A = this chain, B = another copy of it.
Amino acid sequence: MNTHDKHDGGIARVTDVDVIDIRFPTSRELDGSDAMNPDPDYSAAYVILRTDALDGLEGHAFAFTIGRGNEVQTAAIAALRDHVVGLPVDALCADPGSVSRALNGDSQLRWLGPEKGVMHMAIGAVVNAVWDLAAKRADKPLWKLLADAAPEWLADQVDYRYIEDALSREEAVALLTRGKEGAGAREEHLVAQGYPAYTTSPGWLGYSDEKLVRLARQAVADGFTQIKLKVGADLADDVRRLRTAREAVGPDIRIAVDANQRWNVAEAIDWTNALAADAPYWIEEPTSPDDILGHAAIRKGVTPVKVATGEHVQNRIVFKQLLQAGAIDILQIDAARVGGVNENLAILLLAMRYGVPVCPHAGGVGLCELVRHLSMFDFVALSGTTEDRVIEYVDHLHEHFKDPAIIANGHYTAPLTPGFSSEMHAESLATYRYPDGAFWAADLAAQEKETNR
C-alpha cells in the first residue's frame, strides 16, 4: 500500500490550509536593529498544508515580516486557500510549478500586485509549503530533490514571462545540464564541508562598540571569514564602528556594510566612499530596492566596493534588470520575499546567466533554515562553485525549528532531514501565536494591568 494515498487507496488531496500569525518579541533586545528598522518584532505568517494521505505529512512554510501588519500577511495567505484545497497531492508534488502558475495567474488577486508585496509573499509561502511537502514525500532535503532533478523538469518549474529577453527555457536547460557535470563529487564535498557563511551578529546598530568588538572577534574565532555591519544612521558613528571592527578582525576578514535602503543615490556614493579607508567588501541595499538605475549609478561611483542587493527585490523581473543594467556585483536572494522556490530558481538561473555570484539574505525567522537549500542546490547542480559566495547567518530564533541551521567552522552544515527545514516546533507555534498564544496572552494581560494602574 502507498502511504501517500488515502487509507482506502484513493487519491490523497489537500484538505486544509492553516494560517497562523506568529510573532516573536525581538524588539525588546534590539536584535535586528538597523538604520531603517529600529525595532523589529520578527514574525511569520505561517502556513500548514494538510492532506488526507496516510503518510500524515504536512507542508510547512511562512512569509517573514517584522511585526505590525503580520495580520495583513496572514489575510493574504488565507485568500489563496481556495486555489489549493482539493488539489491531488501526487500531482501537486510532481509539479509545484502548476500551483505557482495558478496562484500568480488569478487575475483578480494579481491586481493587488502584480507579483509584488504582500500578495506575492503570500504566494511564496504557499508555494514553499508545497515544496516542503514534496521534499518530505520524496524523503529528501529540498536541496537534494532539486539537485537530483532532471534539467528539463527544473527548467519547466520556471515562469519565463517577462524574463524571456534575458533567459529562455532552452538556455535554462543548457545551464542546468552543464550544472550536472561533477555534481556527485560536489554533493560529497558539501555534506563533508558545508557551505560558507558570514555573520551579521556583531553589527547591529543598537549594539555598543564593546559588544561589536567582542562579537567580531568571536566570529573570527568561530571560523567566519566575513562579517557585516549595519550603517546609515550617522556617518561619524559608521566610520568609527567600521574602523573598530577592522582593528578587531584584521585586514584579511571581509567586512560587508549594509545601509538598509537609507540613502539617495548621491548620498550612497558619498557615504560609501567615506568608509573606503577601512575597505568594506560590499555595500548592501544602498538605496531603494526598486531603483535599478540608481544602483547602476552607485556601482559606478563606489568602485572597488561591491554593490549588493536583493532581500527586498520584489521579483525576477527586477532582478533581471539589475543584471541587465550591470547594477550589482552580488545578488542576494531571499527565500520568503519572492514567489517561492520556483521564482528563486528563475533568479538563480538569471544570476548564472550573467555571471553574478549569489549571496543570500538570511536571519529573521527561519530564513537561514530555508535559503541554505537554495544555495546548496546551486553549488551542487547549477553554478558548481562557492567562490565568492556566502550565505548570511544570524544566530536568532533557530531553536524554534525542527531542523535548525547549524554552523560549523563558519560553514552551514548540509541539512539531511527530508523537507525544506521550514517546520517550527508545535510548542513554538502555540506559544508565540498572536495575540492568543501563551506568551502573548500573558504579555498583553500584563500590559493591560500596567495601563490600568
Chain A residues engaging chain B, CB cutoff 8 angstroms = 36-41, 65-69, 71-73, 75-76, 79, 106-121, 160-162, 164-165, 261, 264-266, 287-294, 297, 312, 314-315, 317-318, 320-321, 324-325
User: Closest B-chain residue to A73, C-beta based?
Assistant: B112
Q: Is B79 touching A71 in the complex (CB atoms < 8 A)?
A: yes
Q: Which residues of B contact A291 (CB under 8 A)?
A: 162, 317, 320-321
Contacts of A72 in B (CB 8 A): 72, 75-76, 79, 112, 118-119
A120 surroundings in chain B (CB, below 8 A): 117
Q: How far is the CA of A75 from the CA of B68 in the complex (A)?
A: 12
- Tell me which residues across on chain B come within 8 A of A164, comparing CB atoms: 264-266
| Nearest chain B CB to A77 CB, angstrom units | 9
Return chain B residues, CB-CB under 8 Å to A39: 107-108
Partner of A108, one of B66, B109, B113, B160: B66
Chain B residues with CB under 8 Å of A161's CB are: 264, 288
A268 to chain B, nearest CB (A): 10
Is B162 touching A288 in the complex (CB atoms < 8 A)?
yes
B66 engages A107 (CB within 8 Å): yes
Q: List 15 A-B contacts (CB under 8 A).
A: A37-B110, A40-B111, A66-B111, A68-B106, A68-B109, A71-B75, A72-B79, A73-B112, A113-B118, A116-B117, A117-B120, A160-B264, A162-B264, A290-B314, A291-B320
* Contact pick for A112, options B118, B266, B292, CB 8 Å: B118
Closest-CB distance, A65 to chain B (whole angstroms): 5
Closest B residue to A165 using CB positions: B265
- Contact B321 A112, beta carbon cutoff 8 Å: no
Prevailing SS type, chain A contact patch: loop
Within the complex, the shortest CB–CB distance from A266 to chain B, in Å, comes to 6
The answer to whether A36 touches B107 (Cβ under 8 A) is: yes
- Known contacts A119-B117, A266-B164, A266-B165; is-contact A108 B290 (Cβ 8 Å): no
Q: Which residues of B contact A165 (CB under 8 A)?
A: 264-266, 294, 297
Contacts of A317 in B (CB 8 A): 288, 290-291
Residues of B within 8 A of A264 (CB): 160-162, 164-165
Residues on the B chain within 8 Å of A111, using CB: 37, 40, 65-66, 69
Most interface-central of A39, A118, A287 (chain B CB within 10 A): A118
CB pair B76 A68 closer than 8 Å = no
- The CA of A79 and the CA of B68, in the complex, are separated in Å by 8
Q: Which residue of chain B is the closest to A106 with respect to CB atoms?
A: B68
Q: A109: which B residues are within 8 A, CB to CB?
A: 68-69
Q: Could you say which residues of chain B place their CB within 8 Å of the CB of A294?
A: 162, 165, 321
Q: How far is the CB of A199 from chain B (nearest CB, A)?
A: 22
Query: Within the complex, which residue of B107, B290, B321 is in contact with A315, where a contact is CB–CB below 8 Å?
Result: B290
Nearest chain B residue, comparing its CB with the CB of A43: B108
Q: Please name all residues of chain B whose beta carbon is closer than 8 Å to the beta carbon of A68 when the two chains form the complex.
A: 79, 106, 108-109
Q: Which of chain B's residues has its CB closest to A325's CB?
A: B293
Distance from A421 Cβ to chain B, minimum over Cβ atoms (Å)? 22
- Verify B321–A293 contact, CB threshold 8 A: yes
- Taking A114-B289, A117-B314 as known contacts, 16 extra A-B pairs with beta carbons closer than 8 A to each other, sorted by chain A number, are A39-B107, A40-B107, A68-B79, A68-B106, A69-B112, A71-B75, A72-B112, A114-B312, A115-B288, A161-B264, A164-B264, A290-B314, A292-B293, A292-B321, A293-B321, A293-B324
